[in-house]
Structure 1
C-alpha cells in the first residue's frame, strides 16, 4: 500500500496518477468548485472529417400555402353582407381610434422632424432667408452677382505656397558662410614646394569698393553726356537721390501685397461694376510703387464705372496735374452734378482766374450747391463783387442761412437789417438769424433792443415748432460771448434761463449754471444768470454773495460796490454784505464811505458783533485809537458777546499795556468764565510779565482746563508749560487726561508723540501706533508717521497715507516735500498746487510752497503764487495761525505773514499753541 501511494519510493508519485472519475479539486474540504469550457468540451458537436456543415434553411413564404388553392385558404368562400358589415365596423373603429390619436401623433412627428432638422439641417433650410431676400433684389444686383467658379478656380489649380517653410541644409549655410572668406593658409603643393604666399595675393576689399565707385561714376558721366546729346534721360545726381529714396519692403509686406493683389484682381474680374474694388486695386499698386499699373487699373475702372465719382477722383489723384485735368473733364461729362469732382478740378488750377472760371462753370450745372457758392465768394477780393454773388446765391438758394448771414455781413447796417428781416421770413425756423440780428444791433450800439430781439426770436421759434432746448440756448450764449458779443450772450441767457426748470429747483439750477459758466470763462453769461436770479429772488443772501464773489474775482471795484449797495438795500440783515461793502470802500481809499456804510449797518443791525468789530478795526487801522476804544466800549455795552470781550483784550494788548490787557481778560472771565480763548490769553499775559509769572500761568491754565475740558489748545498749552519748566512727567499726565477727554483730537495725539520724541525715551513709535489705531484717517498723524520712517520707505508710506486719509492736504504737502528732497522740482511744484487746491484755507501749504519757490522758482512763479495766496486769504494750519495772531505781527499784510510763516514751518508745530 505504501508503494501504491509512493511512500517508499517517490514521495509525490500520486501526483502522476490520473484522478478518479467525477473528482473535483477541494470538494473534500468544502471548497466550491467551478467548471470551464475545457472541462465540458465545445458547445457544438464536432463533425466527422469530410462532412459539410448543415446549411441554414432559407425562409420560404409559400411553404404554408394551400396546395389546392393557390390564392389563399379562404379564396373560395362567399363574401356575404355580414362580412361587409364587419369590415365596415372594423374600418370605422380604426378610423375613430386614428382620429383620436392623430393630434398627438402629428405633434410627435413634428417634434421629431424639427429635432432632426436642427441636428441635420438641409441646405434649403439654411439658405431660406437668403432666398426670400432675392425677391427684393434690383436688376443691377442681379447683374453684379459674382461667378462662383472664378472664386475657387485659382485656389484649386494653384495651391497656395505662401507661408510654407523648408529646412535649409547645413551645406548651404556653410557655403554661404565661406563664400566671401579669405584663405590665409597655404595649399598642399605650396607646403611641399616650400613656397610662401605673396602679400598681394590677399583680397583687398577697400580697393574693390573704390574701383566699383569709380566705374559707377564713369558710367554716370557717360549717361549724363548722352543725355546732353538727347540719347538718354538719366540724371546722375538724381539717380543717386532716387536710390536713397527707395523704400525697401519686408518679406511679410510683400506677401501681404501679393495676397491683396490676387484678391482684388478676383474682385474686379467677377464684379467689374464694383467701383470700390477698382479704387482699392489702384491704391494697392500705388503703395507697392507701381504707379503705371495703378493708373492703368484706375483707367479701366473709369471705363467700367463711369457713374461713380470716387473712381474719377482716384484717377485724378494718381495722375499728373495735366492728365488729371483731362480725366476730370471726362468725369464732368459723365457726372455733371458731382460737387466733389468740380471742387477737385478747382484744386488742380493754380491761377485764381482759372479757379473762378471752373467754379462759374460748375454753378451752371449745379446752381443749388452752397459749397460752390461759398468757394466762389471766397475767391473774390472785391467786397462789392462778393456781395453781388451772395445776392444772386440767396435768390437761387433761399433756404441757406449761411448765405444769408454772409450777405448780411457784407452789407451796410441798414441793408443788413433788411437782409436779415427777409431771411427771417424766408427761414422762420433759423435761430442763428435772430442771433445775428441781435449782434447787429449790439454792433450799432442799440443795446436796449437786443433783449427784445432775442425774446421775440425765442417766441417766434416756439410758434414755428423750432424751439431750442435750454442747454442749446446756453451753448449759443457761450458761442456769442466767445465771439465778443457779450450783450447778445446776456440777452440769450435772460430769454432762456427759465425754460424747462421747476420752480422749486430754480435757485440750485441757476447757481450750477453760473458756476459752470464761470469755470468755462464766460463771465458775462454768468453775470447775466446772477442778475436774473437776483431779480427773481432778491432776498436770497446766498445769491448776493455768489454774485459779489464773481465781481470781486472778475470785475472791477466800481461794479462790486454797486452790486453790494444793491445787496445791502435788498437784504439789510445780511451782516456779511455790509462788511464786504465797507471793506471794499476802505480798500478803495474812501474811508469816509466805509464809515458811512458801517453807520447804516449799525442802524440795520444794532447787535451785530461783526459790524462793531469792523468799525473798531477801521478806526484802529487809520490811527484813530481813541475812537476805536470808544467803539469797543460801546460794543461791550450794547452787544457784549464773548468775541467782543476777546477782541477787547487783544486790542488792549496791542494798543495799550500788558496790565490793561490782563485787567480786560479778568473782567471778561467774570462775564464768560467758560471762554477758552480768554483763559489762554490770561496764561499768555501772565507769562509775558517781567519776570514771568509761571505759577500764575499754571493756575490759570488749571482753571481753564476745568472750565473748558474740550478746549484742546488749553491742554496743549498747559503741557508745554510743564515741559518747559522741566516737569515732563506732569506734561505727560496732562496729555493723557486730555486724550481721555478728547479721544478724537489729532492735535492731542500728535503732541503726545512729540513729547515722547523730545524726551528720547523710545516710546514715540508705540504712541504713534496707538494714535493711528484711534484715528486711522488723520492727516496730521499720517504725515508725521511718514517723516518718522527711514528714508527708503517714506515714499511707500506716503502712498498708504494718501489712501487712508482720502488725499488730506497735510499728506499732500508731505509728498511734495519728499519730491523736493529728491530734487524733482516740477513734481514737487505740482503736488504743492494740489495741496492748495484741496484746501485753499490751509496756510501751512502756502508757506511751504513759498519756501520752495524762493529756493527753486523764478520771479514769474513767485509772483503767480503771491497772487493766488492773496486771493485765497488762508487762516488755518498748525503754524499759520501762530504767526498771524502773534502780537508782534499785528498790522502786517498777508505777504509779510507768508514770509514769516515760510521761515517758521521748518520747526513744524513745535511752537506754542495759536493765540486767539
Structure 2
C-alpha cells in the first residue's frame, strides 16, 4: 500500500479533457477580454470520439480504404492519373474543361449560400439551446452581483485548501529513523585531522579517511627531491664554471643557487611544453634531415631547456646532414667554446670554401690581429671579388698606407664598388684623390655619390664656390637616366652639412631642388615644407639653402621672406637676421611688416640712429602708413624723446588721420599723466570716428581716473548706444556700476548687453559673477545652466562653473565633461592644470600648463599661472626658460593680463615685467577652497 499513489498524484488518462463531461469550458465576466480557457477544438473532439468508438468496437459504416481513396493525392492532380486514363495527356482542352466545371461549381455554391447560412444558424441556435454555456446558466446570478457592496465583497471568506490534509499524514508515514553505529561517528569526527605517526616502514600516514585513501608523506618528499635534483643537474649544465669540451658537469655555487633559480623561474617553460616541442622538432628532423632550420630550432630548444651538450650534439648532426648550410655551421660555432669552435669553423670552410659569412666568422674567432689578417687573406685568395672581405681587411690595417694599397688592389678587382672607391679617395692626397674619383666616375658613371665626393674634394681644395661639379653631375646623370629623386638629393645635402661640407650642401640644393617640379605645381609651398622638415631635423644650413633658392625663383614672395627671417631669428645670429631683413625690404619695399621688423632689430641691437634711418626709408617707400607712423612714435616714446613723439603724432594725425593714430595719441598723453590733454584729444577723435569703441572706452577710463563717475557713466552709456556690439564697452559700463554699489544697475546693463549680443560668453560670465559676488549663488547657478545650454563650447563658462560654482568634490568630474565638450580651449586646459596643482599632482599640472601654451600661446593668463606655479614648485632654470619663450611670443590677451598690460603706468614695461606683475595679482591658491 505504501507504493500506491494517491488520486491527485496519478497521471490523467490519455484522452482526458478537463471539464468536458460536464460541459465546463470556462466562463467570462464583463471585465474579461476573452474566455478564461478555450475548450477543445473540433478536431480534438472528433479524434477522441473516434478513439473511444474504436475501443468499444463501433464503426460509422465507412471503410478505412474508402477514406484513403477519397484523400488519395493521385486523384487531386490531373497529371497523376492511373487506370483507364493513365496513358492520357493533360492538354489545353482538358484544362479549359476543368476551368468550366470549376466556374459552374462556384456559381452553384453562391446560389445555395443563403440557404446554407440559414440552416447553419438554425442548427447553431438549436445546439446552444440544448447545451447552454455556464455563463448563460449563471446570468441571473451575475446580474444580482451588481447589488453587492464593497464591504460585503471584502468580507467574503477565503476558500480552504483540503488537498494537504492527507499529504502530511503520508509524509509522516514515510519518515523512518535508524540508530547509527559508534564507529561511523568516530570516523566522521577524525575525518579532518592529519596523523603524524611514523610507521615501521618509515612512512607517516593519515588515518583512513571517509573515502578510504591515505597520504604517503615519504613519497611526496621523494618526489620533491627528484625535482630538486633535476634542477641542480639543469643548472650544472648551463653554469659558467669550469667544464670540459663536451660538456662535463661543472661546479655549482651552493650559496647562489637559489638566487639563480629565482631569476630563471619567470622564464621557465613547463616540462610538458618542452617535451611537446622536442617531439615536434624531432619529427621535423626525421622527416626532412636536410632542413637546416629544423636542426637549428631543435638545438635552440635544448639550449633553452639548459641541455647545452644535447644542443651541441644536435647541431653536429645537423652539420653532417646539411654541410652546405651556412646557418647550420654558424649556429654550431656559436654553441661551442672557442677552441672547439675553431675546429668547427675549419670544417665549415672546408665544406663551403666560398662562403663569405663563414670566413668572417672564422676571422672573428681569432683573438690577435695578426691571426685575423691571416684568415682574411686566405679568404681573399678563395673569394677575391668579395667586397665585404676587402672591407674587413682594410679595417684590420692600422697603417693608412697599407690600407691604401689594399684599397687600390680592391678597386682593380671590384671596380663597381662605390664604397671602395670613396674609401680610397679619402686615403689619398687631394691631387691623387681627384685622379681616383675620375677613375671611379669612368668605372661607375651612374653613381651620384662619386660626384658628391668630387664636389666635396673641390670644397676641401678651396674651390667650393665653383658650382661646375654639381652642374656637370646633374647634366651627366640626367642624360643616363640615373638622376635620383629630389628628396634623395636633400638627404645627401643634409649628410654633407653633417660632415661640415656646407658649400657642397648649398651647391646640391641649388642644382637639384627644382628637379621633377613643374611650373604648374605649387613649388613655393613644397619648398617651404622641405625647409621646415630640414629645420626640424636640425639641418639649418640645408634650410637656408632651400630658402635662398626659393627666393631666387620667387623674389617678391612675402611668405618666403618671413619664413627665412623666422629661421634666422630662431637659429641664426643677429647679423644674419639683419642681412636677411635688408634683402627682404629691398625685394618687398611696400611690406611694412618687414620694415618694422628691421627697425625693431636695429633698435634692440642698441643702434637707435640706424633704427630711425630704417623708419625714414620706410616712410619714403610707404608714405602715410599708420603702422610706420606708430612704430616711429613708439621708438621715440620708449627712448624718452617725448617732444619728438608728440610731434610725430601730431604730424600723423594730419597726414594719416586714422582711428588708430588718434587712439595712440590719447594713450600717449595718458601715459604722460596729462588726462586733460587726453580728454580733449578723445573728444575730437569721437567726433571723427563715432563708431570706434576703443575711443569711447578710453573716454570713460579717463573720467574714472579723474574720479568723475557721472561723466564716465555718461560716456559708457553713449558709447554702448553708438557701438552696441562692443562687448568690452558693455563690461566696462557694468563694472563701473558694480564698483559704485549699483548691483541692480549693473545687472540691468548686462541684460541690455545680452540683448544686443545674445551669445557672448563674456557677457554671460560677467552676469554670473555679478550674482555670485552679490551672494546670489542659486541665481548664478541657474544663469550658468542657461548659458551652457546656449553655449556648450565656451571654455570661459566651464572654467567659471568648475572653479567658483561647484563644490570641490565635483571638480574632477566636471573637468572631464568640459574637456569632452571643449577639447581645444586653453582656458579649460589651464583650469585642469590648476586643479591638479591644488591636488598636489605637480607633474600632471605642469604637463597641462604646457599643453595650454602649445595650444594658444597668445593667452597671457596661461603664462602667468604657469609662472606662479614654477615660483612655488619649479627651478630657476625652468623659470628662465619660460621667460625667454615669453619674449619671443609676447602675449596680448587674457582676462588678468590685459588690465595690467593696458595700464598707462606699465606702458614702457617689458613682457617679462608684465608677467611678474600679473602673476603677483593672481590669487595665492590655484583654485578656491
Q: TM-score band (shorter)? A: 0.7 to 0.9
Give the secondary structure class of the aligned counterpart of 1:877: coil
- Out of 33, 36, 39, the residue aligned to residue 54 of structure 2 is 36
CA distance in 1, matches of 2:196, 2:536: 74
Which residue number in structure 1 is paired with residue 750 of structure 2?
Answer: 735
Query: What is the aligned partner in structure 2 of residue 663 from structure 1?
Result: 680
Instruction: Specify whether residues 324 and 236 from structure 1 end up closer, same or farther in structure 2 by C-alpha distance, changes over 3 A only.
Output: closer
1:707 aligns with 2:718: no
Which residue of 2 is the match for residue 904 of structure 1? Answer: 921
Deviation at 1:679, TM superposition (A): 1.0
Pairwise CA distance, 1:772: 1.2
CA distance in 2, matches of 1:33, 1:400: 105
Partner in structure 1 of residue 542 of structure 2: 525
| Corresponding residue SS for 1:845 | helix
Query: 1:676 touches 1:711 (CA, 8 Å); kept in 2?
Result: yes
2:784 is matched with which residue: 765, 768, 771?
A: 768
Confirm or deny that 1:745 pairs with 2:760: yes
Q: What is the DSSP-based 3-state SS (H/G/I as helix, E as strand, rest coil) of the residue aligned with 2:923?
A: helix
Report deviation, 1:499: 2.5
Residue 654 (str. 1) matches residue 671 (str. 2):
yes
What is the aligned counterpart of 1:726 among 741, 759, 763?
Answer: 741
Q: Do the aligned partners of residues 524 and 297 (structure 1) sit closer, same or farther apart at CA in structure 2, a change above 3 Å counting?
A: same
Does residue 822 of the first structure (1) align with residue 845 of the second (2)?
Answer: no
> Which 10-residue stretch deviates more, 607-616 or 368-377?
368-377
Structure 1: distance between partners of 2:274 and 2:479: 61
Distance in 1 (CA, whole Å) between partners of 2:301 and 2:195 is: 40
CA contact (8 A) 1:878 1:908 kept: no
| Cα 1:724–1:907 shift into 2, 3 Å | farther
Which residue does 2:636 correspond to in 1?
A: 619
Deviations 1:658-686 (A, max 9, x none): 11111111121121122211111111111
Residues 94-493 of structure 1: matches in 2 within 5 Å? 238=253, 245=260, 253-449=270-466, 451-493=467-509
Cα–Cα, structure 1 residues 354 and 179, in superposed 2: closer, same or farther, change >3 Å?
Answer: farther
1:759 aligns with 2:777: no
CA gap 1:757/1:737 in 2 versus in 1, 3 angstroms: same
* Matching of residues 50-69 of structure 1 within 5 Å: none
Displacement of 1:304 after TM fit?
Answer: 1.9
In the alignment, structure 1 residue 635 sits paired with structure 2 residue 652: yes
> 2:827 — aligned with what?
810
Name the CA distance, whole Å, in 1 between partners of 2:268 and 2:912: 70
1:411-455: CA deviations, max 9, x gaps?
Answer: 222222222222122112222222222223333333312x43233
Q: 2:622 is matched with which residue?
A: 605
1:214-264 CA-partner distances (Å, limit 9, x unpaired): xxxxxxxxxxxxx9xxxxx99877566678656679996211222222233
Separation in 2, partners of 1:278, 1:510: 55
Q: CA 1:443–1:814 in structure 2 vs 1: closer, same or farther (change >3 Å)? A: farther
Aligned partner of 2:583 in structure 1 is 566
> Equivalent residue of 2:764, what SS?
helix
Distance 1:470 1:556 in 2: 29
1:514 matched to which residue of 2? 531
Q: Which residue of 2 aligns with 1:76?
A: none
Residue of structure 2 in register with 1:126 after alignment: none
| SS in structure 1 of the partner of residue 445 of structure 2 | coil
TM-score normalised by structure 2 residue count:
0.72
Gaps of 5+ in 2: 1-48, 60-186, 201-241, 243-247
Q: Give the equivalent residue in structure 1 for 2:66.
A: none
**Residue aligned with 1:503, SS:** coil
1:417–1:537 distance in 2 versus 1, CA, 3 Å: same
Determine if contact 2:837/2:926 at 8 Å carries over to the other structure.
no
Q: 1:326 to 1:175 in 2, by over 3 A?
A: farther
Measured after TM superposition, the shift of residue 496 of structure 1 is: 2.5
Distance 1:722 1:697 in 2: 10
Asked if structure 2 preserves the Cα contact closer than 8 Å seen for 1:844 and 1:877, the reply is yes
Gaps of 5+ in 1: 1-30, 42-169, 184-226, 228-232, 911-916
Question: What is the TM-score when the length of structure 1 is the normalising length?
Answer: 0.73
Q: 1:673 to 1:264 in 2, by over 3 A?
A: closer
How many Å separate the matches in 2 of 1:395 and 1:816?
A: 68
- C-alpha spacing 1:729/1:455, structure 2 compared with 1 (3 Å): same
- In the alignment, which residue of structure 1 is the partner of 2:143? none
Equivalent residues of 1:879, 1:909 under 8 A apart: no
Contact kept in structure 1, 2:602 and 2:611, CA below 8 Å: yes
| Mapped contact 2:465–2:503 kept (Cα < 8 A) | no
1:499 aligns to 2:515 (yes or no): yes
- For 1:90, the equivalent position in structure 2 comes to none
Structure 1 match to 2:708: 693
Larger CA deviation: 338-347 vs 799-808: 799-808
Partner SS for 1:448: coil
Quick one: structure 1 residues 824 and 443, their matched pair in 2 at CA, closer, same or farther if it must change by over 3 Å?
farther
In 1: Cα distance, 2:819 partner to 2:259 partner: 56
Q: Following the alignment from structure 1 to structure 2, what is the Cα–Cα distance between the partners of residues 677 and 249?
A: 73
CA change 1:819–1:442 in 2 (3 A) is farther
Relative to structure 1, is the Cα distance of residues 283 and 589 closer, same or farther in structure 2, using a 3 angstrom cutoff? same
